[in-house]
Each structure stands twice: as structure tokens, then as C-alpha cells.
Amino acid sequence: MRVLLQRVSAGSVTVDGEISGKIESGFVALVGVTHSDTEAEAAKLAQKTVNLRVFSDSGGKMNLSLLDVAGAVLVVSQFTLYADARKGRRPSYIQAAQPDLAEPLVRYYADCLAQSGARPVEHGVFGALMQVAIHNDGPVTIMLDSDQL
């Protein structure tokens, strides 16, 4: 499982002209799932997400976690995090899990974030064509991969 975290001052997801999720300060979490991923990995990534110290303290040092700053999370499914562009000009998405596995794991990751104290946790719409607005703060972008935890 891969989670691309972007520290944001604001983020939103729009589907068919309607906002499905919107946050102020916190993370936009782009989440990709592969075939071998499990709930245990999703839970570990959620814990890492809420405790990662990348928010600035009063001295301007990245020393605070999402929980410390009472930050929100916008979770957006992103199968393209498992794109393989090594051959040719069209990426392969064979490593991305099918929706019947990926959707419940993305939802479980979001549920684990909420259970860990992240408030609010907003969502994109799984499988939909989404317009994602990301106001990256910093910019700070961190890739988490369950294979490297």
C-alpha cells in the first residue's frame, strides 16, 4: 500500500460539479493499493500518517504531528501510485489492486485515521473522475510505502 501525503492549507474533491470532501489544514492522502495489501498494512500506514512530525512548531521547525495540530485528512483513492512506466509510453497498472480489494482497504485506512484521532476525515469518491484541489503547504510531500515500514 502506498500513501502520498501532501501537507495542505486546504484541499477538496469535486465529482460531477459537487464537492464530495473538503478540508482546511492537514493532509491530502492519495492512497494506492496493490494485490497483497491487508488491513494490517492500512492500519500501520494510518498510525504513521497521524504521528508523522511534519507540521511546524512555534519556532518554525517541522516538529508537530497531525494530532498535535488538530489537522484534517482528505483521503483520495489513487490507483496510479502503482503505475509502471519503465517500458514504452503508456504506463501499466497491473500492480494496482482491483476495486473489490482496493475500495475496502482505502475505506479502512480512512476509518483507522478517524479512530486514531484525525478530525475530520473526508473522502473522495472511489472510482469516480475527481477534480482534486490541493493547496500544498511548504510544499511538503511525503511518500509512505507499507513495504518500507
Annotated catalytic, 126?
no
Q: Which of 80, 98, 115, 131 is catalytic?
A: 80
Annotated catalytic, 34?
no
Q: Is 65 exposed, middle or buried (0-12, 13-18, 19+ CB in 10 A)?
A: middle
Annotated catalytic, 80?
yes
Q: Which of 14, 49, 79, 95 is catalytic?
A: 79
Q: Which of 6, 34, 49, 78 is catalytic?
A: 78
2-16 core/surface letters (b: 16 or more CB in 10 A; e: else):
bbbbbbbebbbbbee
**DSSP secondary structure string for all residues of 24-87:** SSEEEEEEE-BTT--HHHHHHHHHHHHH---EE-TTS-EEE-TTTTT-EEEEEE-GGGG-B-SS
Q: Which residues are catalytic?
A: 78-80
